[in-house]
Chain A
Amino acid sequence: QKEVEQDPGPLSVPEGAIVSLNCTYSNSAFQYFMWYRQYSRKGPELLMYTYSSGNKEDGRFTAQVDKSSKYISLFIRDSQPSDSATYLCAMTTVNDYKLSFGAGTTVTVRA
């Protein structure tokens, strides 16, 4: 079993739709949860960062962490063509600086 599971998609949605992405994990020690966005032929860049459980909102983006279910989500509201990218979840423990990544979900927002 992979430590972090993420459906690679691809996911195609019309402009303005809500995009829902998620990851599951097996290591209950994970406390820091991140979402990275990666445009084609570019390096990943940090999009959202959450510590422990709960929700975090930043503009059109909402990150949710449910530690009891070992499940994290990223929601993109009012999606735009510029949101077309691969989204990778990543996580780590309080004692570590190395990240465990999901496989990434490729999202296309159609104009």
Chain B
Amino acid sequence: NAGVTQTPKFRILKIGQSMTLQCTQDMNHNYMYWYRQDPGMGLKLIYYSVGAGITDKGEVPNGYNVSRSTTEDFPLRLELAAPSQTSVYFCASSVGTAGNTIYFGEGSWLTVV
């Protein structure tokens, strides 16, 4: 069972470069999320989507963009990478009802130098 799949697993970017983190899920979940995790800071919500064509900002959206053209895919775009974006990024999905279980991908480790 694939669940939530993220690519790449590891990436080093130079300051000012751009890249896209890919995320796909095969559970037919309407709701998808992007989180970043920094040491001692827990998980912070970057963007989320409640269905194809609908996205919204989370707690820390600056420097990122998302799109949701299909139910399965929810890519995260980093424009003009900055050292502050060095982090671990997790894509997740859920059915979407209140209190529902959120399923996470394996994570993408990004370093901006």
Which A residues are within 8 Å of any B CB, using their own CB?
4, 6, 8, 31-32, 34, 41-46, 49, 51, 88, 92-99, 101-104
7 extra interface residue pairs, beta carbon distance < 8 Å, beyond A46-B102, A49-B99: A43-B92, A43-B104, A92-B99, A97-B94, A97-B96, A97-B100, A98-B33
Which B residues are within 8 Å of any A CB, using their own CB?
4, 31, 33, 40-43, 45, 48, 58, 90, 92, 94, 96-107
Give, as a whole number of angstroms, the nearest-CB distance from B85 to chain A.
19
Give, as a whole number of angstroms, the nearest-CB distance from B31 to chain A.
6
In the bound complex, residues from chain A placing their C-beta under 8 Å from that of B101 are 34, 46, 49
Given contacts A42-B106, A43-B107, A45-B104, contact A98 B48 (CB under 8 A): yes
Say yes or no: A31 contacts B104, CB within 8 Å.
Answer: no
Docked pose: A46 CA to B103 CA in angstroms: 8
Q: Closest residue of chain B to A31, judged by CB? A: B99
A-B contact pairs, 16 of them (CB 8 A): A6-B42, A31-B99, A32-B98, A42-B106, A42-B107, A43-B92, A43-B104, A43-B106, A44-B90, A46-B102, A51-B99, A95-B98, A97-B94, A97-B98, A103-B41, A103-B42
Say yes or no: B97 contacts A97, CB within 8 Å.
Answer: yes
Give, as a whole number of angstroms, the nearest-CB distance from A52 to chain B.
10
Docked pose: A41 CA to B99 CA in angstroms: 26
Given contacts A42-B107, A43-B105, A43-B107, contact A94 B43 (CB under 8 A): no
Give, as a whole number of angstroms, the nearest-CB distance from A105 to chain B.
11
In the bound complex, residues from chain A placing their C-beta under 8 Å from that of B43 are 44, 88, 99, 101
In the bound complex, residues from chain A placing their C-beta under 8 Å from that of B90 are 43-44
Give, as a whole number of angstroms, the nearest-CB distance from B106 to chain A.
5
In the bound complex, residues from chain A placing their C-beta under 8 Å from that of B45 are 98
Residue with the greatest number of chain B CB neighbours at <10 A, chosen from A93, A94, A103: A103
